Amino acid sequence: MIHRIRAAGLLVHDSKLLLVLEKNLATGSGFWTPPGGGLEAEDGSAVSCVQREFREETGLSVEVGDLVYVREFAEISRGTHHLELFFRVHWVQGHLHITDPGAPPVGTDLMRYARWFSQSEMQDLAVAPRELKRSFWEDALSGITETRYLGVTAEETSP
């Protein structure tokens, strides 16, 4: 089994959370998730990974804050065990690049599209992790102060 570390950022602006659509072009299936990605050799840390991924996926520069959530999931079809780290981030500079969801991808089998969502707008969407639909908003209002472990799930494909 392959082990993969993914680091992502939770950016809230005007009571909306920034999410990125990850859509598999071969299957047409997709889900919304916070901007982020796999830790690469040039990343000195999970924090630098979040900063790099935000620049690549959204055009934004962010300051990475506290680690808020840790989640594991087994992607059985790919033989991969993922460890995901979700950090609170703050917008430093840049303008959001919202890609047209109908635009052809460049050098990838995934189509990415960034968009802001309120809690109510997220309810009927496929969102990963699922906790972003409800408990994230409760945590944000209460001012979560500790890291929460979201558990382990096993899925045939990405959430």
Instruction: Give the residue extent of every domain in the chain.
Output: 2-155
CB 21 within 8 A of CB 103: no
| Sheet architecture: strand order including 61-75 | 36-38, 2-10, 80-93, 61-75, 148-155
Task: Determine the 3-state secondary structure of 34 from DSSP.
Answer: coil
pLDDT digits (tens, 9 = 90+) for 146-157: 899 999 988 754
pLDDT value at residue 30: 84
The residue ranges of the chain whose pLDDT is under 50 are 104, 106-107, 157-159
Instruction: Name the residue among 88, 89, 91 with its Cα closest to residue 139.
Output: 88
Which overall architecture, per CATH, does domain 2-155 show?
Answer: Alpha-Beta Complex (3.90)
pLDDT value at residue 133: 93
CB 36 within 8 A of CB 28: no
Identity of the residue numbered 30: G
pLDDT digits (tens, 9 = 90+) for 71-104: 999 988 889 999 999 999 999 998 887 655 555 4
